Chains A and B, each alone.
Chain A
């Protein structure tokens, strides 16, 4: 089955120690999103790739970076994690047709990586 895979499912890191979360997809979707979700709140969009174009949300801390080496993979780098960065991180995808987003299609989410900071 086509899907969105996030690794690892659980990640523990130390305060200030860089960490990388990964996401891969077999759906061949051109749009990929990274969300942060804290304690049963709504997911908060950090950034997204519209095809190869990177779009950062205005309130995403500089501490958060992303890389997308190809259509299938996307990485979230947290350069110096603080205690407030402990959260569930969700990756999601959605399709384009041509250069147009398919807004009438749902997003497909991975199962997330739960990040803990010691």
Chain B
């Protein structure tokens, strides 16, 4: 079975400071890992993914994520937070070792204070 843990319900950060949203996973074999963002009353929007290769992946809106196989983590990062980054963030894992149906974390609410 595959699983995802997002240990923080909420992350607070001041505008201009770096942010990190944590994600750990469990899956058989190599994981496919994804981050999505959800703004109020909107669907989930894809931010970035890790499939293979470089452990640091870059995505939309200046976000990046670091894959760490030994720690089974895929933390989302941004060097300088914006108030407009305030949203709900979901980490997800899919096969090939696990199911093609993605498993989502419970979500982390990011609040960026002016």
Contact = CB atoms under 8 A, between A and B. Distances in A.
Interface of A: 4, 6, 9, 40-43, 45, 48, 88, 90, 92, 101, 103-104, 106-112, 114
Contact of A41 (B44, B101, B106): B106
Contacts, number: 55
B90 A42 contact: yes
- For B42, B45, B105, B106, which residue has the most chain A Cβ atoms within 10 angstroms? B42
Interface residues of B, number: 24
A114 B105 contact: no
A90 B51 CA distance: 25
Given A103-B96, A107-B102, A40 B44 contact: no
Contacts of A42: 90, 104-107
Interface of B: 32, 34, 36, 41-46, 49, 51, 88, 90, 94-96, 100-102, 104-107, 109
Give 4 nearest A-B pairs by CB, closest first: A109-B43, A101-B100, A103-B95, A106-B46
